Amino acid sequence: MAEELDKAEQRFLHGCPLVESAGSYVVHCNRDSYYELCRNLREDGYAMPVGVTGVDYLTHPGRDLPDGIEAERFEVVVELLSLVAHKRIRVRCQVPGNDPTVPSLFELWPGTEAHERETYDMFGVVFEGHPDMSRILMPEDWEGHPLRKDYETGEIPVQFKEARK
């Protein structure tokens, strides 16, 4: 599949640009094609969801993206594994910062459930259709999403007199 495609040209997988990044295959998509792409990958035999995570590109907007993919603030990164074909693929989905919602992959891989909750907890990306979109690592009443780049890390006040000078 991926290997059969011509290296010289821009390669596509299910209509989404496919690139090679540090030895792994990465397929880029935007929010509209995300679920469709993932469903096709599921049918291709990527049976195991290795993980779902997010990246907040707020302070690093000029990253390298293939043609036709508009850079947005958030990215949802899905790592998939095909045990039969011994192949891995990574899906990078662009998610706009002013409306961070993407469809949930729970229907395709139930194992994404905890990972999507974690991504929601850390980045505030809402997964539509997720059965239990609650926080998982932070307390229930926590405000804000800690792994966002505009989240204040803050300081603990120094208690010692000598250090205050």
Partner 1 sequence: MTEPRIVADPPPGAEPSPEYTTTESGNAKPTLLDRLLGRVPASSTDMDVMLQAKTGEGSQELEPRHSSSPTQYGIETGSRLALAEGLSLDREDLDVEVPEDESMILNLGPSHPSTHGVLRVMVEIDGETVLRTKPVIGYLHTGMEKTAEELMFHQGCTNVTRMDYLSPFFNELGFCLSVEKLLDIEIPPRAVWIRMLMCELNRVSSHLLWLATNGADIGALNMLVYGWREREMVLAFFEKVTGLRMNHNYFRPGGVAADLPDGWRDDVAALCEAIPRRMDEYDELLTGQPILQKRLVGVGPLDADTAISLGVTGPLLRSTGVAWDLRRDNPYLAYDEVDFDVIVGTNGDCWDRYAIRFNEIRESIHIVSQIAEKMPSGDFRTQDKKVTPPPRGRIDESMEALIHHFKLYTEGFRVPPGEAYVPVESPRGESGCYIVSDGSSRPYRMHMRSASFSNLQAMAPMTRGSLIADAIAIVSTIDPVLGDVDR
| Pair 147, 119: CB distance under 8 Å | no
83 contacts partner 1 (rule: CB under 8 A):
yes
Rounded Cα distance, 4 and 69, in Å: 23
Q: Binding residue for partner 1 (CB under 8 A) from 41, 93, 112, 127?
A: 112
Rounded Cα distance, 152 and 38, in Å: 34
What would the x/- binding string for partner 1 be over residues 5 to 44, using CB under 8 A?
A: ----------------xxxx-x------------x-----
- What are 16's strand-pairing partners? 13
Residue showing tokens 């195991």: 48
The residues binding partner 1 (CB under 8 A) are: 21-24, 26, 39, 47-51, 53, 55-56, 59-60, 63-64, 77, 79, 83, 86, 88, 90, 97-98, 100, 106-115, 118, 122, 124, 126, 131-147, 150-154
